[in-house]
Structure 1
């Protein structure tokens, strides 16, 4: 038996960081380390400024706002190197994800990922956690014209999944992502995440549903 939020859905689209995997914490750590290489302190409001930006948009922001000698490609390559070991060894799936993915597959619900992260990292995460076979579509922010909160990434995921936006359910953990899903005409379930606890009430107000984790969204009828 599926949760009511899934009753008339043909596809589920996940944001990755903070929704599919518990990884939002690592990006602040990487920003501190990377800027520290050049003697730059992390601005207190940096995370809120770049929230929702694609991997490439974030690199442009860093290049424009900080005295960094690296090229855009060098910045992104450095972030990929710094993040990969953490994703491989320190980033777990959100509780209940394996059971939820199996439930979706058994019920014929198509699965996609729409992430602001780099393709290299999302493909690596999918491989480490044996997720690749579940997902028909993986779209990154660099694949579309505008990052979240614009709807582009979710509309492209729906196109690849061949499902009408109104029949897609999005799982998101940050406000710009929730806004992106709603702007795409999709139903959105906000996901609890330690990184965005200060936005909990706003997330609940903007989203159609709110969950602490993915346990119990499919219940065996046997």
Structure 2
């Protein structure tokens, strides 16, 4: 495996790699497409993955021949998402184990999403994962949506992490493009089986043994520095904290939003 085990932080691309929200949404959109004489398959699912509600609604409206329908497609898509989350969205296999393992090893974690914050919170809450993330960046928190790097950069900044030594988990080409533009190491977990993502490493699921083993060996250079003790007195914690903060400030300075 070529993934680095010494990272500043790990950012998960929206709730997609973590929560099963796609199947119910796909069923609903499939029924809608059939009403207009169209099929809904993996290619059409790609029109929705990792997009904003507005962009996803517009793409589907164009596909079924309703382009220019104004805010109605986005409102329809938002209603489908609400129904899906109300019905319950379970965590994907391995999601909690991976995140908890990273946290146990001192690696800061965050979620960055093109979706509105209330949808992200609802998805993570339904899956029982919301308590794991102190930092969640949503559509309202960055000037540009994906594939711009703004969401990833904002998440890194809130974690006091530099993008280059950090990793991002992405389930779509849009998420991959955003993380790559931010300069991050990208781990692919495609939400559509068989999708080929241009990433450092790709896995079919978070529960894969190799990925679980990677998370179990991960650490962060800041956590490593904070654990160093002076060889003379063993009590230089405050000096080391200053050194660590200086390192964070210097690595972030080139990536200010």
Q: Give distance in 2, aligned partners of 1:182 and 1:69.
A: 32
User: How is 1:45-84 mapped onto 2 (pairs within 5 angstroms)?
Assistant: 46-61=44-59, 66-67=65-66, 72=71, 75-84=73-82
Structure 1 residue 34: Cα displacement: 4.8
Partner residue in 1 for 2:124:
126
Partner residue in 2 for 1:162:
160
Partner residue in 2 for 1:177:
175
Structure 2: gaps of 5 or more residues:
218-257
Deviations 1:181-204, CA, capped at 9 Å, x for gaps = 1111000100143x241x23xx1x
Aligned length: 209
RMSD of aligned Cα (Å): 3.1
- Tell me which of 21, 24, 36 is aligned to 2:22: 24
**SS of residue matched to 1:170:** strand
Partner residue in 2 for 1:100:
98
Q: Give distance in 1, aligned partners of 2:84 and 2:127.
A: 13
- Tell me which of 12, 15, 22 is aligned to 1:14: 12
Partner residue in 2 for 1:212:
204
Conserved in 2, the CA contact under 8 Å of 1:174 and 1:196?
no
TM-score (norm: length of structure 2): 0.67
Q: Give distance in 2, aligned partners of 1:127 and 1:91.
A: 9
Structure 1 residue 171: Cα displacement: 0.6
TM-score (norm: length of structure 1): 0.76
**SS of residue matched to 1:81:** helix
Change (3 A) 1:103 1:130: same
